[in-house]
Amino acid sequence: MKPDLKDWSSKTLTKNDWDFSVYMNLPKSALSRIFQWELDRELGSGKGPFGKDASNKKWLTQVAKSKNYTDFPNATVTSSKGATHRTGKGNTLTMDGNSTLHVIQINWYCNQQELVDAFTDWLENNHGTPFTTFPANTRGRPRHQYTLLEKISIHRFHKAGYSGGPKFFRENNKDAFKRNLKRINWTLAQREINLHLKQRSKELDRISKAARKNWRKLLYS
């Protein structure tokens, strides 16, 4: 099914539609939820900005209260050969040198892709792993979820008729969020968001067919 994309203009595009700076310090799982909400708006969910929804406001308050996670306490693990390992810095089980045993805390409220992204991020940051998992010249680092929100903004500005040229940044030099968009390639950002929209549209189509109910009513009623 061809995506039914939302139209934007300079009159309909408000600050709440493009300024995501209030979400900058949220955890990745929260940013992913906001990104999906805003992506679905592009596909016709009929909803307004994420932060203006009453249930989302309540959820954001809960996220803010629980943003500090408790680390695992020190624990002792004994191998089949009787060797004793204790959790060290980064919750790595060590005895001598590097170890392949690790204590990992999983937030099961995350979806599958968020868990994959988090584990990939953990591997690429070399958290006590005894080898280089992904060579820098063969695999790029995962997209940061907040950057995806910025690219949603670029997509909306582009739809409203702004090209992201020198004039745009000259006229918006005093706005920190808009000014920071200069570091992103607008053409590549637009291409990436269009790809996300295409993939999400297919996913929503599958959800509708499986539930025999329009995804808008199923997810956003």
Distance of CA 69 to the CA centre of its chain: 19
Burial class (CB in 10 A: 0-12, 13-18, 19+), 207: middle
C-alpha 127/C-alpha 142 separation (Å) is: 16
pLDDT at 21 exceeding the cut of 70: yes
H-type alpha helices, the chain? 15-18, 28-42, 54-65, 112-124, 145-159, 166-171, 176-180, 186-211, 215-220
For residue 95, the SS3 value is coil
Give the residue with greater pLDDT, 38 vs 1: 38
Phi, psi of 76 (to 5 degrees): -110, 135
Question: How large is the average pLDDT for residues 54-69?
Answer: 79
Query: What is the pLDDT of the chain when averaged over all its residues?
Result: 79
Per-residue pLDDT band at 70 (split at 50, 70, 90): very low
> Tokens representing 128?
């006590």
Question: How large is the average pLDDT for residues 19-42?
Answer: 90
Question: How large is the average pLDDT for residues 102-123?
Answer: 73
pLDDT at 78 exceeding the cut of 80: no
pLDDT at 124: 63
Question: How large is the average pLDDT for residues 26-46?
Answer: 90
Phi, psi of 92 (to 5 degrees): -95, 130
Confidence (pTM): 0.68
Neighbours of 3 (CB within 10 A): 17
C-alpha 14/C-alpha 9 separation (Å) is: 9
**What's the chain's length in residues?**
221
Quick one: residue 219, left, alpha or beta (phi over 0 = left, psi -120 to 50 = alpha)? alpha
Question: How large is the average pLDDT for residues 208-221?
Answer: 91
Question: How large is the average pLDDT for residues 28-50?
Answer: 91
